[in-house]
Structure 1
């Protein structure tokens, strides 16, 4: 937009301000307009939009958003997995930071026949300097009804609390890929806890999936929460490595999930402790759940 040079107006009667003060307001307005134009969008602030983002990158960001969603929802009865990415845009800057805007569908993780396609989500995902633990803002609709989710979570909780002795199991699933129905709640709880670890460790180029529970031990507690120690095997898809992770999980229905973990890998202990600095400087609350 071309700005026309306007002749300086003569001071009005009684206006005794110096000329410099009379020019200050329009000059500040001009600087503000120029600043707004400089920050008008991602491309204007050093971000370059990828005209054709790869389906792999978009799916990677969507999975990271769902790991975060599952962890914050803290419901083993309503775990979601990615179905399809319907729409997605991505940007990258010179610092190799990535931003994604996504729309995708999900499936119920423990779906019965005929329940496969379940929800639809939109998400913004931000990876800072190719680091793990992306910042996520995710909204999902058409999910499991709240009443059903709460009822199923409570039934699982009551089942675990009624065990005559604390659970101690190994190798879920077994060598044939079979999970006994009685152990399915344990698997779902482990997947819930692993969602936190997988979100923490996801980068634009690394994603994970829980492939097996090596061992699980339930601890007796003096409060109402369920307390487990797991050792799970995470499959890192980009490198095809299998990474053992010890996870301590404390869960109570409708309460925030508590997770601590340590993974055995080639990273330094600080980077593998679950306390490293990542992309998510401040978490954004998920909504519509």
Structure 2
């Protein structure tokens, strides 16, 4: 008698969305942005951190959080930094502890009764000679898993039902406008570039997604 085998589990919406993301060729122009003048790397331990350093640390933590979530529906951006301190070791790097508030990247998709702002605490370690900062971050008021999967699945169905595959140039356009129908593509690109923005951020420099120069979609038959 053959042992009874359970049927394989059905793929989750997140897996479908990941497959869709892999089918999109996104050539994104990521632009470096400096905040104010460069900090002096020789400043002493426990020096009062500059506003720019705290903001770069908070954004690095959010890029990491967005990358780990793997969901365009769960994207968060920085609202404000409440407090923070930095400890600098010239031999090891810069360690930043901070508390900051966040908001949903696409505020138009808020659920009824959902709080707009959330709160995070993080430790960001900009290590010398390392490709990306080490992040430990905890946040509140994140989108519930069930709601996140629901939104992701609706996006997956929307993209799958397109009769004509997307073939778009420049999002946003030369005037900075993003057509509402293309907003999901921009959100996917923001999610897809979050790893690069996390990896490239340093205590002196941060990156942001400036423009998609080409989007091409292949529809599997």
Contact kept in structure 2, 1:81 and 1:109, CA below 8 Å:
yes
Matches within 5 A, 1:51-200: 52-95=48-91, 97-112=93-108, 117-129=116-128, 131-200=130-199
Partner deviation per Cα, 1:50-77 (whole Å, 9 max, x = no partner)? 2x21111011111000001001101101
1:213 corresponds in structure 2 to 212
1:49 corresponds in structure 2 to 46
Alpha-carbon separation, structure 1, partners of 2:153 and 2:160:
10
Q: TM-score, normalised by structure 2?
A: 0.73
Alpha-carbon separation, structure 2, partners of 1:213 and 1:154:
23
The Cα shift of 1:174 comes to 1.1
Alpha-carbon spacing, 1:111–1:73, altered in 2? closer, same or farther (3 Å): same
Matches within 5 A, 1:256-275: none
Task: Identify unmatched segments of 5+ residues in structure 2.
Answer: 1-43
* Structure (1 or 2) with the greater helix fraction: 2
Task: Identify unmatched segments of 5+ residues in structure 1.
Answer: 1-46, 223-289
Alpha-carbon spacing, 1:173–1:126, altered in 2? closer, same or farther (3 Å): same
**RCO higher in 1 or 2 (8 Å CA, sep ≥ 6)?**
2
3-state SS in 2 of match to 1:155: helix
The Cα shift of 1:112 comes to 2.6
Contact kept in structure 1, 2:115 and 2:141, CA below 8 Å:
no
Larger Rg: 1
1:246 corresponds in structure 2 to none
Alpha-carbon separation, structure 2, partners of 1:200 and 1:182:
30
Alpha-carbon separation, structure 2, partners of 1:100 and 1:130:
17
The Cα shift of 1:221 comes to 4.5
Contact kept in structure 1, 2:76 and 2:102, CA below 8 Å:
yes
The Cα shift of 1:49 comes to 1.4
Alpha-carbon spacing, 1:169–1:147, altered in 2? closer, same or farther (3 Å): same
The Cα shift of 1:188 comes to 0.3
1:281 corresponds in structure 2 to none
Report the count of equivalent residues: 175
3-state SS in 1 of match to 2:174: coil
